[in-house]
Structure 1
């Protein structure tokens, strides 16, 4: 039995960087223990020790002996089945059901939470999907899992699944809308309840977006400082939650509509929907497009027919893309980011490009990868979209950005142990379509930390 005094302070004299290295190494050690746990659970199940000792199944045994919740116990059993090789009835070893994930687990690069996300995503795949696509998705999700938290991985998986099976049940022509909204009186106010289909939600959220930007934060554009030395200028952050901002935005939108009958502008142009779809699919009214709501936080997959219908009322901004999906350069010899550049960056990055960040493009700033003051040019391939927080982080100098395959790649500080990565949360259409960033990660002393 292990004993440990959580109050001991033998690291109180450690330098800050050494303490951060230790923090990263301990997480890797936890991942390594997760890997060992899954291997042991698989062996316990293989031997039938649960029934032998009077338990209903292996999950019941784990919940009772390890004092974990039934849900956690089931996750451990399912994770073991997914990443540990099994044995056939004739004694042949069968490869792990999720081989790429198993490799990441063995490298102590992911946690059990990551395994659970990937396992559930693969379980949600349509049965008609080709095996090659399923293998590609699992491999890509395992690669992404090495660089992002489980919640970000879940978002990427959901979008990737939507793109793999975009059609779903086709709506009947003339079918009545299921949109609904009602107000329920609650004390001194009202609670709004309702439901919108994807197309209607896109329209509403696009209209709300320019009015829901946090007060005190910079809108889209360049750094506040002339030479881009400090990221966004310091302002008092907006204390409202996203739900509160959306509520205030809805009231303000209705007020403006009543007063003038015109929607507000944002960034010099009226709100518009952004849809990424191959031109051939749009022309043929086949295939699917990835639609970004005006606030950029939500996305949906629409069939080409729905995209064409939305395009009738929305502003369509053409962006010329290269063969890998990267916008072609529209820069000029100036520090000012032009409207054309900004649109190209919005199309390429989709939002804050820092790994794991889900903030939309409308709440980002254009950052020079090579600073303008250091001779960097104002061109799309030298610019990247960053939210205020990650812009300030970038200017601290420990994170490095390079461009690979026309897309920004972020290199964390060496002591994190995290490999270089891209943020594909805003571009799920590129998952599996571009090569992974070149690895650049040190080996951590996991065996020493685990003590095995």
Structure 2
């Protein structure tokens, strides 16, 4: 009989026979029938057999059983993998597990990843999860984020303050959603370069499809963390608390908010306001980290030769802060706790509104500074009147989808927020300039762009003058 057609009893409790099916260890053989019998007894109960407290007690035990069973199954998958017999009927262990256990491939992949991580990188979490000290969801969060690079693996096994034991302790203390934010912050602090690479790779994978279907549109896509934050914040602003009698789900109200956001965008296009009014997305960063960002960017510029050519070896970036509970908790992050990659923070620091908040030891606000370094509406209008469109070589994107960029970085070069120090760049090229370390300077009436190696980017417009260039 094929694997997937094996009856439940023989699949769970195989007995030795002439074909060679193995017998289970005695301790397992004696306990599994009792577990199955208990589950059968629960299935025979009706809603009227229990009161609320009894149902709560049983549901709590079931949650523990389900969690520990998920961990045990993940660990069994590593044994199945080592055996190799799965490869006879499937091209991957995940597909074998999905078919054999009747789950989705996505869930099977997560279980395989969990089993491997508990075996190879998370021995402490394996013990805690098997005993029920932490839940299987906490273990999945650790497996997905913690052992993903060599630096993070080294941090897990180190003797430092934020090793695997510290993460397991946080798993014991925090709900899953808060723990996920904690591990994301830990991963960003343990290997910030990998966080940067992940953001750049995500930028390359970003897409949005809005396809017409019967009686509507199907929306599908993937956004970078900053674009996702912008969209979520805008939708939340347009999705108020439902009025009395509003029976729509949260998803339905978000869909309506997206439509309202699109209509608002069309209204702005009609009035010519463009991106002068943008939804606020908060980024929390310490003064020390912001200063490190400026010092790192300044070192990159100072490393060039007077002729503008890059030296044989680029200056090494400033070392990441030592891994500690403070750097994990206070790394650059959006207001909901999602870490901000350094490459993204550099771009956001270029044309974002900066507010100073000084906190006391018990988190009370001691001082609030004024907003600085943003281009006012009048300054932006003057820059638009001068530049008319994105000034990146070869680009003619209109002001509607453009932002004002500090030619001399506000924090790094102490550049002023003035018309002379501002240039119009479309969203794409503003991001590109920051990602690629492109420098901009004025040469007479023209803007000159040079890449990180000091090479001047060619202007594709006739004679370098865009007066007659099509918009």
Short-chain TM bin: 0.3 to 0.5
TM-score by length of 1: 0.47
TM-score by length of 2: 0.45
Greater relative contact order (Cα < 8 A, sep 6+): 1
